[in-house]
Amino acid sequence: VSVEQKAEELAHYLEHGDDPRLRLRCSHLLGPVHSPTVDRAFLRALGDPFEPVVEWSCHEAAERCGADGTAAVMGLLNHSSWQVRLTACTTLIQQKTADQRVVESGAA
């Protein structure tokens, strides 16, 4: 069974699973899979309580979800974790969508 065949199941667990380390593993496994279901799961995972899931999903959402992904990553500039804010800034700079909000986030 391939990851592509299990993508919907993995995406569901990424969004709703109880174990944070398994959610993180699901996010890693779903990296190469491109589908609307997986893209939505990465967007929703930006609100995950486990920071490593948010950080990984930040890169994925920005790459996959166009303007919606960029807007969602911009929303992380106010996250309580400095590591998540740094990941969001780095991601926005790498995709050349950084603006004054990124600069202001770094000053906070």
> What pLDDT digit, counting tens, does each position of 5-51 carry?
999 999 999 999 999 999 999 999 999 999 999 999 999 999 999 99
Assess whether pLDDT exceeds 50 at residue 107: no
Give the global pTM: 0.89
Q: What is the mean pLDDT of the chain?
A: 92
pLDDT of residue 108: 52
- 68 confidence band (pLDDT: 50, 70, 90): very high
Assess whether pLDDT exceeds 80 at residue 106: no
Helices (H), the chain: 7-16, 20-30, 36-44, 51-64, 66-75, 82-94, 100-107
- 103 confidence band (pLDDT: 50, 70, 90): low
Rounded mean pLDDT of 82-88? 94
Q: Write out the two tokens for 47.
A: 């609100």
Coil, helix or strand at residue 65 = coil
